[in-house]
Chains A and B, each alone.
With several copies, the nearest count.
Chain A
Amino acid sequence: MSVGEALAAFNAAHDGAGGVVSFLGKVRPEGGVKALELSHYEPLTLPGMQDLAEQARERFDLAGVLAWHRIGVMKPGEAIVLVATAARHRRNAFEAADFLMDHLKSAAWLWKRERRDDGWHWIEPRDQDHEDLARWN
């Protein structure tokens, strides 16, 4: 299922919601990055994402949540992550998508490395990512 098909299905499934917000994150073709690899630990990663989606649903009174994260090797321009939120009011849908992304960036069981000309480098969240996450506490 493509990103477009997933969003179309999500929209169709939430006809009654006034607003649907989506975020699509892609590998940026810059800084000499040739590829990105995301790895996970399935026994934790999947339940963790399900729990995160459920938290978002309750906290922002959502009609629906979609949270996808790819694993494996991705090339510049390719999709890494897709979230979508459906809510009665737009502010809730916006905040929930923001909340999901802040958590997926620096509080989900995923590990990211970049391949540059001189090989692979593990990436840790930036200070900005930690600050973004702290907004929700």
Chain B
Amino acid sequence: MSVTILFLGPLRDLAGEQEREVAAPLDWKGLLEAVGPEIAEQLGEERVNVACKGKVLADKRTLHAEDGDEVALLPPVSGG
């Protein structure tokens, strides 16, 4: 009965790990608590996105992850 939180890009450094298992189910409030204040602050920023089960949420505050789901925290990107 767990959800996997993935930390992408610079959030991985802030988290000090690439992923973390937390208890299912997980909503927005639960996520903010699970990741700690520093990452919670980042999540408050518009330009940080959240994906659940491989889909980016149009409104991350509607997060509802269940057992076995993967939640990815997506900071601003840069490629090329």
Contacts and interface: CB of A to CB of B under 8 A. Distances in A.
Interface of A: 25, 38-39, 41, 43-44, 69, 80-81, 90, 101, 104-113, 122-125, 129
17 contacts: A25-B80, A41-B8, A41-B74, A43-B51, A43-B72, A44-B72, A69-B79, A90-B80, A101-B80, A105-B79, A110-B77, A111-B78, A112-B79, A113-B9, A113-B10, A122-B9, A124-B76
B10 A111 contact: yes
Nearest to B75: A111
Interface residues of B, number: 17
A108 B54 CA distance: 14
B31 interface: no
B78 A110 contact: yes
A35 to B, nearest CB: 16
Given A43-B51, A44-B54, A109-B74, A122 B80 contact: no
